[in-house]
Amino acid sequence: MAILNRAPAASRTLRVLSALLGYPDARLRAQLPEMHAALRGEAAVPAPRLAGLGGLINSLMLADPLEAEAEYVQIFDCGRATSLHLFEHVHGDSRDRGPAMIDLARTYEQAGLFLEPGELPDYLPAVLEFASTQPPREARAFLGEMTHILDALHAALAQRGTRYAEVAAALLEIAGEKPTAAAPAAEPPLDESWTEPPAFDGCSVKGQARPDRVQPIHLVRRKPETGAAA
């Protein structure tokens, strides 16, 4: 608790980190100089991390807009290891993800915050927007609950050699943790990771059901076609 009580203010930094994880369109790029100034002004992360975040901001400012946008899609939308939806790292597509989403959305609503239509509560930029509204101690504790996910995200981004790894590292430091260089688990090919498991394969596969459970087959009576003989 003593460490949490000394948590520095990081509300502006969390908002900037949230924005930096967004799609780098023209609006975001226009705000990059202001974001850089906010990071330096609050100084919520160590100087080496500020320099790393500055490198990310400068690279986005200097990059060809189409190339920056294409790189973003390639990094965050083409694999689960770098997904910005946190519960994908924990629950994947299992049924447990739904209740976790509901609980997180309720946490936001109890604080008077509501998501935009179509926005999922486990989307990391939304998570950081919420954290930025909390007092420093609570914000740090909130981020501390997800450091295992942030650490895995950092490792996956670092493995890809992208400057976006600086954002995940900064979040870990705000939470009071040190980023590790642990290699992430190997991902299956993209096509394989999004392929539906076979319906019949002799037994349950890839989490469809537990091996010791009967898998019922539901038969549905087909309605006769219009005009067919009774």
| Tally of CB atoms within 10 A around 165 | 22
Biggest CA-to-CA distance, the chain: 81
| Tally of CB atoms within 10 A around 55 | 12
Contact between 145 and 17 (Cβ < 8 Å)? no
167 residue type, one letter = V
d(CA 5, CA 2): 5
- Average pLDDT of the segment spanning 53-69: 97
pLDDT at 116: 79
pLDDT at 199: 39
Give the distance, in angstroms, between the CA of residue 190 and the centroid of all CA atoms in the same chain.
18
Provide, rounded to the nearest whole percent, the portion of the chain with pLDDT above 90.
54
Mean of the per-residue pLDDT values of the chain: 79
**What is the helix (H) or strand (E) element at residue 25, kind and residue range?**
none
How many degrees, rounded to 5, is the angle at CA 179 between CA 178 and CA 183?
Answer: 145
> Would you say residue 67 has pLDDT above 70?
yes
